[in-house]
Structure formats: structure tokens, C-alpha cells
């Protein structure tokens, strides 16, 4: 008799679809330390009005945010592309010696690209984990080059987290 009951329970559990992650406004989150990135992420969550409560005590959190941050410094002074535009024409969209404005714009673009390369590139991934079920309810990654990389990657993660929460709270049709 016990075997039949177990078989019925097992059959119904196999037929029921897995629960979609539920992430509700007002939930408490603890952001694990990551060499200072947690400060950028907490600031971005506040700035983007993500409807979560950040707590400093891991034991009082509904969710834990983990992150991985990778920063690659690109070598300054070694441009990745060298453009020689002395023998090109404007018809191709390139600058010529007769068009000093186009040359100036090209040099400005190249200088800006060199500055962005010199500052490096930052890649970030975050995961939000339900402390009760250990289920990953949200994950996102972002990569940025240029100035304010940590801030912009954190804001990108916060923006997508907010969108995920809002989408999950909308009534299903």
C-alpha cells in the first residue's frame, strides 16, 4: 500500500511543471562582498529604484546576491587599429588632406577609442539566490569599456533586476 502511495506522489510530482522563480517587491537582499563592487551594486539598486530592501545581516535576507567581477587593463599607447587615411577620399566616407574637418573628426574618434582602450574593460555577472531553496531566481551579466565601468555595469544589472521583478509581478493573462 505504501508503494502505491509513493508511486502516485512520484507520478504527480513528475507531471507538475517546475515552479517559476518568484521574486517580489520588498524582499530583503544581502549583497556578498566583492572587493568593493557590492557598494556600486547597492548604490545602483537604490538609484534605479529597484523595489528591494538591502540588509547588512546575511541571516535576515530572503535572497543573496553574488557577483563576479573581471577587469582587464588594456595596454595604453598600443592602439589596436592603426588608420592611415592619407590616400583616401571623401566619397568613401574617409578623410583626405583636402578635408581638414573630416581629418580632425577622425583624429578625435581615434583618440577617444585609445582612451577607452587605455582604461580597460570590466565584465560583471550577478546571481540572486533564494536562501530557502538555493534556487537561482535571477542572473545577469554586463560588460563595459571606458570611464565609470564599475558604476555602469552595476546600473545595468540593477536595471535588468528591476525589469525582472516588475515582469514577474504582472498578472498573467
User: What are the tens digits of pLDDT across the range 58-106?
Assistant: 999 999 999 998 877 765 544 333 333 333 344 444 444 566 665 555 5
For 96-146, write each residue's pLDDT tens digit: 456 666 555 556 555 555 454 446 788 899 999 999 999 999 999 998 876
Over residues 143-164, the mean pLDDT reads 88
Same-domain pairing of 61 and 130: yes
Residue 33 and residue 56 in one domain: yes
DSSP code of 124?
Answer: E
The answer on pLDDT for 28 being more than 80 is yes
pLDDT given for residue 77 in this prediction:
42
Residue 64 is assigned to a structural domain of this protein: yes
pLDDT at 147: 66
* Residues shown for the chain: 173
For residues 78 and 25, the model is more confident at 25
Flag whether 13 is in a domain: no
**Same structural domain for residues 58 and 131?**
yes
Residue 115 within a domain:
yes
Residue 5 lies in a domain: no
**173 within some domain:** no
Count of CB atoms within 10 A of residue 116's CB?
16
Residue 100's domain comprises: 74-119
Q: What is the CA 84 to chain-centroid distance, rounded?
A: 36
Which pLDDT does position 112 carry in this prediction? 52
User: Is 113 domain-assigned?
Assistant: yes
**pLDDT, position 59:** 96
* pLDDT at residue 105, as a whole number: 57
Number of domains in the chain: 2
In a domain, 6, yes or no: no
**Residue located via cell numbers 547588512:** 56
For residues 157 and 51, give the distance between their C-alpha atoms in angstroms, rounded to a whole number.
Answer: 14
Q: Give Cα separations from 86 to 77, 91, 127 (angstroms).
A: 21, 14, 50
Integer Cα distance of 81 and 120 in angstroms: 16
Amino acid at each position: 500500500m505504501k508503494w502505491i502511495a509513493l508511486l502516485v506522489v512520484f507520478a504527480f510530482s513528475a507531471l507538475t511543471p517546475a515552479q517559476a522563480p518568484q521574486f517580489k517587491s520588498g524582499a530583503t537582499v544581502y549583497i556578498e562582498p566583492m572587493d568593493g563592487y557590492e557598494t556600486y551594486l547597492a548604490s545602483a539598486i537604490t538609484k534605479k529604484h529597484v523595489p528591494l530592501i538591502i540588509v547588512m545581516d546575511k541571516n535576515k535576507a530572503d535572497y543573496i546576491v553574488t557577483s563576479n567581477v573581471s577587469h582587464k587593463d588594456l595596454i595604453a599607447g598600443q592602439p589596436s587599429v592603426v588608420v592611415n587615411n592619407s590616400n583616401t577620399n571623401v566619397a568613401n566616407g574617409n578623410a583626405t588632406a583636402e578635408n581638414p574637418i573630416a581629418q580632425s573628426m577622425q583624429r578625435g574618434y581615434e583618440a577617444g577609442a585609445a582612451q577607452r582602450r587605455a582604461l580597460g574593460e570590466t565584465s560583471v555577472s550577478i546571481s540572486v539566490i533564494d536562501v530557502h531553496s538555493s534556487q537561482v531566481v535571477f542572473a545577469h551579466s554586463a560588460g563595459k569599456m571606458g570611464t565609470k565601468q564599475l558604476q555602469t555595469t552595476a546600473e545595468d544589472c540593477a536595471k535588468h533586476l528591476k525589469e525582472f521583478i516588475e515582469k514577474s509581478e504582472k498578472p498573467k493573462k
